[in-house]
Amino acid sequence: MVNKEVLFMSNGHGEDLNASLILQELQKIAPQITMTGMPLVGEGNAYRSLNLPLIGQPKSLPSGGIFYMNPLTLLKDVGAGLIGLTLYQIRTLLNDCSRYHLIVAVGDIFPVTMAYISGRPFVAFLVSTSSYYEGKLNLPWLTRWCLQSPRCLAIFTRDAFTSQDLQQQGFKNAKFLGYPIMDILTPTGKNLHLDKDIPTIALLPGSRVPEALDNLELLLKVCESLATLETVQFRVALVKAIKETDLQQLAEQLGWQYQSLGILVKNQGKNIIRVECYYGAFSDIINDCNLAIGMAGTAVEQVVGLGKPVIQLPGKGPQFTYAFAEAQMRLLGISVKTIGKSYKNPRLFSDAATTIQAILKDEDYLRNCRQNGQERVGKPGGSLRIAQAIAQIV
């Protein structure tokens, strides 16, 4: 029997994560298939954590793959070697592609085009694209051309609305089988030291440093405003790239005290604000929270999928700017509210605090968020269902 080989190709942090989740399920149900990863943007850490063989010289660029939000970051990427890297990736793919029986392209126009030029059969998971953004999916002509190829054997979408739209546009092989990011939200059981009688606010500053530290600064200022209005408890989900020394420096800059084990405290008149930061507790925090203040991409989608409301603040970027936040509101619907249009807005923190206070008391809105999460993001199980579909194709 011929040993089948599959290449997973993706372009960004969230895309790599989705690809790795599908890949893990495929390894379980079809261990005879050999798998390789090709992260087109970034270091490919989601693949590396699986000890998967990689091709294509993984490399981080300034934009993190989000340059469509700001053309200036594209120029920075070009200066950091984007063109040379892309040419190298194309050469590597064309040299290696004959051995792959199937290519799984996860992301948008970039991996789909790369899969097409390989000349091999491929499937596409359009994780970066949704009909919710504009009400109808207007695919770039190049993406449309590639997806119309007879070598494109299936198109997986991130929500049911997009698959229905694509089918109406003539892509009969489009289907929604679930969104893999909802499969990794089982709580680990970490003790967050929560008072069950007090609302919990999750703070999600994002995964890219130094931007995540800039975001955390804004989030802490919301905590200061909210603490004057409501008795709540704050829990921060941190990535490993944010070090304890970073938290100490940030606390000093903002007039907070840093205590051991990631605890930030500020005395504010009669109020003592306490913010607890945890590593490796993202799923615990978002499952236990009543509301999240998010300045992230994938993480906000996951919170919405759990039926929780999210408040967004426009940041300095390069990723989480007002343009990104506004697009995320269109994608995720009523569950997400963005406060203001600039991080320089003098009312940003007080407006965020009053909005959060109102949301926590609005039972109708909270109920609608639970329903909206099911519609926009969907239930767990997508990783396995997509893996089963790929196994039938290879």
Q: Say if residues 289 and 200 touch (Cβ distance below 8 Å).
A: yes
Instruction: Please tell me the predicted confidence (pLDDT) of residue 162.
Output: 97
The answer for 243, left when phi > 0, alpha when psi is -120 to 50, beta otherwise, is beta
| pLDDT digit string, tens, across residues 200-224 | 999 999 988 899 999 999 999 999 9
Instruction: Please tell me the predicted confidence (pLDDT) of residue 67.
Output: 45
- Listed in order, strand segments (DSSP E) in the chain are 5-11, 34-41, 102-106, 122-126, 152-157, 174-175, 200-204, 233-238, 257-259, 263-268, 271-279, 291-294, 310-312, 336-338
Domains plus CATH for the chain? 5-179+379-393 (3.40.50.2000), 200-376 (3.40.50.2000)
Q: Say if residues 107 and 12 touch (Cβ distance below 8 Å).
A: yes
CA 40, distance to chain mean position in Å, is 16
**pLDDT below 50 — which residues of the chain?**
66-69, 80
Using DSSP's 3-state secondary structure scheme, residue 368 falls into helix
Instruction: Please tell me the predicted confidence (pLDDT) of residue 60.
Output: 58
pTM: 0.88
Instruction: Please tell me the predicted confidence (pLDDT) of residue 68.
Output: 47
Q: Say if residues 298 and 181 touch (Cβ distance below 8 Å).
A: yes
